[in-house]
Amino acid sequence: MSQAPLHRGTDLVLSVEGVNKTFDGFKAISDLNFYLAEGELRTIIGPNGAGKSTFMDMITGRTRPDTGSLTLHKPDGHDIDLTKQAEYKITRLGIARKFQTPSVYTQHTVYDNLLLSLPRARGLFSSLFYRESKEDRERIDEVLETIRLTELRHSIAGALSHGQKQWLEIGMLLSQQPAVLLVDEPAAGMSDDETHRTGELLISLAGKHSLIVIEHDMTFVKQIARDGKVTVLHQGTVLCEGKFDEVQSNPKVREVYLGRGKAA
């Protein structure tokens, strides 16, 4: 189960090493190595088909790698091999994922959406006798405050705007009190103002949580990356990694983004 302790003292929360994945002969991920530090906000960019979503699928157990290791480093020093855990168990270990299209419970209220996301009574029979505690209510209030939906707490989630649904889903991840948040294209389909507010929200979460954000919109990437690292994926592997400006001026990255068709 446990990995060689090469990360000791560096406060890593997630290590991905030598991962490969092939779908029907198509190499979606090839020899990928990736490390996420505690409290870091990492942005991942890359052209379509670079393997960004597959990468998230593998961390959350939706897809299993052919070879390589995915390890979660718990604060108590335990290492957990994610390739052997069921999806819902990976969530319970503290890895929360936001999907590209907003996935909220449209028939439930905003409050109930958050309530169902709290890490409480998630078993079949415990859910029958669960009563929300004062602590649970406070936690939900806190999340509502963070995602700025306090006024809409009793609204049916299906009636929210696209942007509000995205924030609600981020709030649902926060309710889970996760160590790592995986956020897939949060700004897709949002207005400039909403995009900016989403950026502020994600920045405010860094430090308390570790985040991986996949995004296409370069203005948004620049906003949230600040001095942090940006990872460029290309053909299932890391093309380069560094600060936003370095990455932007990297000739290889320019080649991939601008000169597609020439590069094979």
Contact call for residues 189 and 200 (beta carbons, < 8 A): no
Q: Cα(25)–Cα(21) distance, rounded to whole angstroms?
A: 10
For another protein, give the closer residue by CB, 139 or 229.
139
Give whichever of 152 and 232 is closer to another protein, judged by the CB atom.
152
Nearest-approach distance from CB 97 to another protein, in angstroms: 5
E-state strands within 60-203: 67-73, 79-81, 95-98, 180-184
Do 21 and 69 meet the contact criterion of CB atoms below 8 Å apart?
no
Complex with another protein: residue 106 or 161, whichever CB lies closer:
106
> Minimum Å distance from CB 101 to another protein?
10
Write the DSSP symbol of residue 125. T
How far, in Å, CA of 17 to CA of 29, rounded?
12
Binding site for another protein (CB under 8 A): 60, 86-89, 91-92, 96-97, 99, 103-108, 112, 115-117, 119, 121-124, 127-130, 169, 172, 176
The gap between the terminal CA atoms of the chain, to the nearest Å, is 38
The minimum distance between CB 59 and another protein, in angstroms, equals 11
Run of H or E residues at 239: strand 237-243
**Residue 125 Cβ vs another protein, minimum distance, rounded to whole Å:** 8
Confirm if 219 and 235 have CB atoms less than 8 A apart. Answer: no
Smallest gap from residue 94 Cβ to another protein (A): 10
Please, which residue, 89 or 226, has the CB nearer to another protein? 89
Nearest to another protein of 172, 230 (CB atom): 172
User: Within a 10 A sphere around the Cβ of 39, how many other Cβ atoms?
Assistant: 15
Q: Compare residues 176 and 198 and give the one whose CB is closer to another protein.
A: 176
Q: How far is the CB of 50 from another protein (least distance, A)?
A: 22
Torsion of CA 37, 65, 56, 39, to 10 degrees: -10
